[in-house]
Chain A
Amino acid sequence: MNTLTSPAPGGAALAAVPAAPPARAWWLPLVLLLVLAALPTLAQAAGLEFYIGLVRRILLFALAAASLNFLIGDGGMIALGHAGFIGTGAYTVVALTDFGVQSAWPIWAAAMAVSALAAVAIGAISLRTRGVYFIMITLAFAQMLYYVCMTQRQWGGEDGYTLPMRPQLGFGLDAQNEAVMYQVVLALVAVAWGLLDRLRGSRFGVAVMGIRDNDVRMQALGYPVYRLRLVAFAIAGALAGLSGALLATCNSFVSPSMMHWTESAMLIVMVILGGLGQRWGGPVGALVWLGLAETLRQFTEHWQMPLGVLLVAVALYAPAGLATFRLPRRGGAA
């Protein structure tokens, strides 16, 4: 694989691969990135600093949802414990700042590594099961992590833990400045999403999709099915861990409720709303879900009820999520 720093898809080298994203809208991620980068300045000019934090949160959940979409949509692995990895990343930040590490970058890298390790351990057992049993066993492991964090009294137990201060960013960046933190988050999420996007079009990504469609045939073709699934699970776990670590850093707060099973269910909801296996499924789902929740919360205390009605309606009438309503496009990707 070549250099993977830009969120824009390179396209050309991968065009022969059926699952590669169509090169048609190559400019879209760039424009989006520019708009998002300009947002803090615009928000500050308009006196709407509140929205910086909101969009930052949406970006982080977009990353977590995109990693889960890779697992569910591309890999066919319905994991109902993804919030466990978000929590693992977040609590790694707490553990390391407690330990005295002050620089954010090694902390974030370690959070990804720890989450990936947790995902390998959990995946190694879970991936032996299928169907509902896989759903339930991933849920069980996430609940175990939840209770382990719940009993960490030195980190506040059930009440959660407030970081004494944000880790330092270095490079002359001020971590206390919300707009700076926003730009760092944007850059990391963009890079991570770009990597994930390239990965989906790579040989590895296509093999994972092949396993989703017919694992027996892939096995017969000589692909190491179990190992490929495990690697995909670890990658998704690491990205969720990064999202959790950044959430913990931005909020300067962690609590076990970040990894409660309803959070995992909410991530699945985002993925389905945005479109399973769709390139933009994760980000769109996070934007729609969190955006709707925030909007409704401004009008009513009972904002969950309309969202619940929406979910039931989507499940009954638009099971492919918002992608159901997308206009049919000319031609296929292949």
Chain B
Amino acid sequence: MSATLIFEQLLNGAGYGLMLFLIAAGLTLVFGIMDVMNLAHGSLFMLGAYVAALVHVHTGSFALAVASAIGTMAVLALLLETTVVRRLYGRDHLVQVLATFGLILIADDAVKMLCGPAPLLAPTPAAFATSVELLPGLPYPAYRLLILATGIAVALGLYALVNHSRMGMLVRAGASDRWMAVLMGVRVHRVFSGVFVLGAALAGLAGALMGPVMAVQAGMGEAILIPAQVIVVIGGIGSVRGAFVASLLVGLVDIIGRAFLPPVLRTMLPPAVAADLGPLFSEVAMYALMAAVLTFRPTGLFSPKAA
């Protein structure tokens, strides 16, 4: 395997990881500050993908599609927060599981009603349908570069927001000790509303960007939610930095199983077995990574609560 190929695969892994980071970032803040277990976060990702695909097909503008996905999810999140999620603060995790699982059922059926059960076609925007020669002999799809660039930009933006702004200070205060923050006069509920909307917007952005590279269909949110939750837990609940590191780790592990392991396995095992073991490794390794992290650091790598 040549160096350029390895580099290309590492880019693929980073792209996947950064997309998961967009989803995990919102999730970890919602989890960390208000201790709300939101299973419906993946549904926002799915709805974002649907909105973007529909707008893109009808108007032909990808920028408009992404903007409308982000905007719609932010508005929807505001509605959800005021009607349902706000009543789940401080409640038992079980009740939160119940309510947000209900939201998943509603969202999945809603898109099936409106768009039919068949997957929706989300076209790759024409401007990014080409490939860019990153290194000599390494053409890389421009669209995947766009995903990478967006992921990095959002990570930097969140870093600035969380670590160097007043809002971010309140968010960190809420995540490390909610009651102390409340007692110090922080209106944690209002901070949380903002965070919930921001998280939803990021999930919408991720959905809009991932639409062209995966099947836009009911249930896509449930599939992506679990890797995102795993990232949240590995990184430490409430830590954006942890989520970033963990998402790159998960992206790396995923690409090892998909691209690097099969050729190695093929030299040792019959081809049929080797073809199965690679993907199995990449799916299982993520969970094994989480189990290992939790065994040695029961609150994740960068938990804000671990003093």
Measuring CB to CB, which residues of chain A are less than 8 angstroms from any residue of chain B? 72, 78, 80, 125, 128-133, 135-137, 139-141, 143-144, 147-148, 150-151, 153, 261-262, 265-266, 268-269, 272, 276, 302, 304-305, 307-312, 314-316, 319
Contacts of A150 in B (CB 8 A): 280, 283
User: What CA separation (Å) do A312 and B99 show in the bound complex?
Assistant: 4
User: What CA separation (Å) do A136 and B226 show in the bound complex?
Assistant: 9
Secondary structure at the A interface, as helix, strand, loop or mixed, is helix
User: What CA separation (Å) do A128 and B113 show in the bound complex?
Assistant: 44
**B19 at the A/B interface (Cβ < 8 Å)?**
no
Q: How far is the CB of A125 from chain B (nearest CB, A)?
A: 6
Q: Is the CB–CB distance between A144 and B287 below 8 Å?
A: yes
**B71 at the A/B interface (Cβ < 8 Å)?**
no
Residue of B nearest to A314 (CB): B98
Q: How far is the CB of B302 from chain A (nearest CB, A)?
A: 14
Among candidates A147, A272, A307, residue contacting B280 with C-beta atoms closer than 8 Å? A147
Q: Is the CB–CB distance between A133 and B233 below 8 Å?
A: yes
Contacts of B233 in A (CB 8 A): 132-133, 136-137
Known: A132-B31, A136-B233. A151 touches B279 (CB 8 A): yes
Contacts of B107 in A (CB 8 A): 308
Would you mind naming 12 contact pairs between A and B with Cβ atoms under 8 Å apart?
A128-B295, A136-B233, A140-B287, A144-B288, A150-B283, A151-B279, A261-B226, A262-B104, A268-B101, A308-B103, A316-B87, A319-B91
User: What CA separation (Å) do A251 and B276 show in the bound complex?
Assistant: 27
Query: What number of residue pairs across chains A and B have CB atoms under 8 A from each other?
Result: 135
User: What CA separation (Å) do A293 and B57 show in the bound complex?
Assistant: 35
User: What CA separation (Å) do A143 and B227 show in the bound complex?
Assistant: 10
Residue of A nearest to B292 (CB): A125
Q: How far is the CB of B234 from chain A (nearest CB, A)?
A: 10
Contacts of A316 in B (CB 8 A): 84, 87, 99
**B237 at the A/B interface (Cβ < 8 Å)?**
yes
Q: Is the CB–CB distance between A311 and B98 below 8 Å?
A: yes
User: What CA separation (Å) do A327 and B288 show in the bound complex?
Assistant: 47
Q: Is the CB–CB distance between B229 and A272 below 8 Å?
A: no
Mask: chain B, 60-86; 1 = CB below 8 Å from A; 0 = not:
000000000000000000000000100
Among candidates B94, B113, B229, B288, residue contacting A139 with C-beta atoms closer than 8 Å? B229
Q: Is the CB–CB distance between B229 and A136 below 8 Å?
A: yes
Q: Is the CB–CB distance between B106 and A308 below 8 Å?
A: yes
User: What CA separation (Å) do A314 and B103 show in the bound complex?
Assistant: 12
Contacts of B291 in A (CB 8 A): 125, 137, 140-141
Q: Is the CB–CB distance between A135 and B98 below 8 Å?
A: no
**B110 at the A/B interface (Cβ < 8 Å)?**
yes
Q: Is the CB–CB distance between B105 and A304 below 8 Å?
A: yes
Beta-carbon contacts under 8 Å, B215-231 to A: 222, 226, 229-230
**B46 at the A/B interface (Cβ < 8 Å)?**
no
Among candidates A128, A129, A268, residue contacting B97 with C-beta atoms closer than 8 Å? A268
- List the 5 shortest-distance A-B pairs measured between CB atoms, nearest first: A311-B102, A308-B105, A315-B99, A308-B106, A305-B109
**B112 at the A/B interface (Cβ < 8 Å)?**
yes
User: What CA separation (Å) do A89 and B34 show in the bound complex?
Assistant: 37
Residue of A nearest to B105 (CB): A308
Contacts of B149 in A (CB 8 A): none
Other 5 A-B pairs with CB < 8 A, given A137-B291, A143-B283, A312-B84 = A125-B291, A135-B37, A262-B104, A305-B110, A311-B99
Among candidates B88, B105, B222, residue contacting A307 with C-beta atoms closer than 8 Å? B105
**B92 at the A/B interface (Cβ < 8 Å)?**
yes
Mask: chain B, 271-300; 1 = CB below 8 Å from A; 0 = not:
010001101100110011011001100111
Q: Is the CB–CB distance between A265 and B97 below 8 Å?
A: yes
Known: A129-B294, A132-B37, A302-B113. A319 touches B101 (CB 8 A): no
Q: How far is the CB of A237 from chain B (nearest CB, A)?
A: 17
Contacts of A311 in B (CB 8 A): 98-99, 101-102, 105
